[in-house]
Amino acid sequence: MAVSRLPTAALSLKQFLQRQKVLGVYRDLLRSIRKIPTESDRRYLRDWAREEFKRNKTETDQDVIRMMLTQAHNHLEDLRRSLALAGC
């Protein structure tokens, strides 16, 4: 009998891919926040982003995660547009 090396709570392929998307949006958001010129604004937005992602890290409903990913993309695009208008 072969013993599986996967942990008992291994992610499905769909969950794994969705997790990669979430991590990618998080990294992109933090990279964009680094471009903000004011230190206090950077710190505020970085803390906000971290808190939002931490608060929602236990969510398992795929539809809710998809909705939150869409919201995160929208926030990221708004931030990028604001930075472009400010010339950063």
What are the tens digits of pLDDT across the range 6-42? 666 777 888 889 999 999 999 999 999 999 999 999 9
Please name the residues in contact with 88: beta carbons below 8 A apart, sequence gap of 6 or more: 35, 36, 37
- pTM, two decimal places: 0.79
Provide mean pLDDT across the span 46-70: 93
Please name the residues in contact with 30: beta carbons below 8 A apart, sequence gap of 6 or more: 46, 49
Judge contact between 34 and 7, C-beta under 8 A: no
User: Is the per-residue pLDDT at 56 higher than 80?
Assistant: yes
Mean pLDDT, the chain, whole residue set:
89
Q: Report d(CA 13, CA 35) in Å as an integer.
A: 34
For residue 87, report the phi and psi dihedrals to the nearest 5 degrees: 80, 25
> What percentage of the chain has pLDDT greater than the value 90?
69
Judge contact between 34 and 78, C-beta under 8 A: no
